[in-house]
Chains A and B, each alone.
Chain A
Amino acid sequence: MRFSDTGRTIDAIWRIESPKLIAGLTRMVRDVGLAEDLAQDALVIALERWPESGIPDNPGAWLMTTAKRRAIDLMRRNKIRDRKYEELTRSAELYTEEDMDPQLDGEIGDDLLRLIFMTCHPVLSQDARVALTLRLLCGLTTEEIARSFLAAEATIAQRIVRAKRTLSAKKVPFEVPVGEELKERMAAVLEVIYLMFNEGYSATAGENWVRPLLCQEALRLGRMLAEIAPLESEVHGLVALMEIQSSRLKTRVGADGEPILLMDQNRGKWDQLLIRRGLSALDRCRQLGQPFGPYALQAAIAACHAKATSPDETDWVRIAALYEALSRVMPSPVVELNRAVAISMAFGPAYGLQIVDELNKETSLSAYHLLPSVRGDLLYKLNRFEEARLEFERAASLTKNIRERDLLLARASECLNKK
């Protein structure tokens, strides 16, 4: 026993070691489901033995050795005498404590990278990618994943089982893609991480505005990826974006759970450590000398806010220019809407309203609550309170977030008082 319950210590070791373990085992057995089973078998053996024998000095190496032995036993029992078995025996013989030698870190990093490319593979649905990544690369339990998505445990368990089966059935290779494919697949990986982050940052439904576990896991994955894929400029861009957004995590919600908008947040409470980390990730991205992609541009925008010590000092002209650049690499009505906000802040609400009115013709945004919300705000600033009220009410009817709806209805009644 260490300083706390052995069971909980083993949980912690699992969290630290399981991604490396599963990645290394997948390389051996070429099946992510089998790799996870083997890793868990090793964990079960550890749970039986460690409380008595004590926790070994290098628990990661112990688990890996045990799992590899299990793999060989399994293959012997199944009398599989193919090349895979030969390979397995050979690597198990070669395997010593040194497998966890830091000199092999490069290789472990490569395995982790291969694993994340696998769990974020396009053959899987977006939901399955997120769940499987949380399970295999973050070492979260099914229950933890279910809780963070406000979903039933059985649903998530089934989603993970199916995802592993699909990877097997479609023979998705355990490899880092190259060339053009790398670019596309990396974008898919980053998308999964950002989706995870956003799901936590702004819960789309329910009472809670922020679900921090998902944000933390996404950030952890991003930081990890920045170390194992350091030449990918957009990885640093995404990390910068998440670090800076996380710096405001705790100022985004008031004591009664009500959302607090960026301009109204107490900047003294923004997490300066995360801001510094975000700015330095953005520097790393810049140093790679490639043109900024969508994440880096969004991070640069977030950095403008982070650097302003008061709302008045915000460099809106620069932000408007960055949104302009963003709308070129990632054209979307949502980006356009944000550009409208930046323009209105830089040059006046009337200019922003022109862009928003153009967007109003866009049918793809008809159910998007932020469009009437922004339009309402601009109309309010132009003293057109009656029109503003109608927009806020429309926005309130469109949002699924209860807290946000309250905020919008409060703004609508504010308009009534102004008349």
Chain B
Amino acid sequence: MRFMMIVKATTDSEAGVMPSQELLDAMLRYNEELAKAGVLLAADGLQPSSGGIRISYPEPGGKPKVVDGPFTEAKEIIAGYTLIEVKSREEAIEWAMRMPDPHGGGQGEIELRQIFDPEELSSDEEKQKKIKGQFSL
């Protein structure tokens, strides 16, 4: 099963302040540890939201509304993600607990979320049951 560890933005990351060398090294080591355990699928850092856009659909069926960044509320913004493949939720939690504080200074926050299997997105319940039986570990 796949999980995404989402690193939330902070005032510094949003201001484009690079993390300290120490933190960068710690993150690099952590990613290496994930890779050496064979669980790392992908990891990326995102640029500040000032260069991003938000597309929203305030009217059901209506046209999208596009807003340029930066966005407020740093904690609702994503600064990076790490995708891992593990055998259990507990294993994912254990790895997430080992990630270094992504920011220091009291604002670091990591969110761990499980990724849907494509089959789980099917609305056909019968089909889902069948597939679950087939693929359950």
Contact = CB atoms under 8 A, between A and B. Distances in A.
A303 B112 CA distance: 32
Nearest to A101: B29
A269 B121 CA distance: 12
B109 interface: no
A227 interface: yes
Nearest to B35: A227
Interface in A6-22: 8-9, 11-13, 15-16
Contacts of A102: 29, 32-33
Nearest to A137: B38
B118 A224 contact: no
Interface in B27-59: 29, 32-33, 35-42
A2 interface: yes
> Range of interface residues on chain A?
35 or more
- What is the interface of chain B mostly: helix, strand, loop, or mixed? helix
A9 B90 contact: yes
Nearest to B133: A257
Per CB-CB distance, the 4 closest pairs between chain A and chain B, nearest first, are A220-B38, A12-B90, A223-B38, A224-B38
Which residue, of B35, B91, B131, has the highest number of chain A Cβ atoms within 10 A?
B91
B119 to A, nearest CB: 7
A9 B93 contact: yes
A69 interface: no
Which residue, of B95, B134, B137, has the highest number of chain A Cβ atoms within 10 A?
B134
A212 interface: yes
A4 interface: yes
Contacts of A8: 88, 90
B135 interface: yes
B22 interface: no
B94 A256 contact: no
Interface residues of B, number: 31
B131 A228 contact: no
Given A257-B130, A269-B118, A4 B38 contact: no
Contact of A208 (B95, B131, B134): B134
20 contacts: A2-B93, A3-B93, A9-B93, A9-B94, A11-B90, A12-B91, A16-B37, A102-B32, A112-B36, A213-B137, A216-B87, A219-B38, A220-B37, A221-B38, A224-B38, A250-B135, A256-B130, A257-B134, A273-B41, A277-B41
A212 B137 CA distance: 7
Interface in B69-104: 83, 85, 87-91, 93-95, 97
A255 B97 CA distance: 37
A255 B131 contact: yes
A11 B36 contact: no
Contacts of B42: 273, 277
Interface of A: 2-5, 8-9, 11-13, 15-16, 102, 105, 108-109, 112, 208, 210, 212-213, 216, 219-224, 227-228, 250, 253, 255-257, 269, 273, 277
Nearest to A13: B94
Nearest to A271: B118
Given A212-B135, A273-B41, A228 B93 contact: no
B113 interface: no
Contact of A2 (B32, B88, B95, B97): B97
Contacts of B35: 223, 227
B36 A105 contact: yes
Contacts of A15: 87-88, 91
Given A16-B94, A216-B87, A250-B117, 10 more contacts: A2-B93, A2-B97, A11-B90, A16-B37, A216-B85, A221-B38, A222-B38, A223-B40, A224-B38, A277-B42
A403 to B, nearest CB: 11
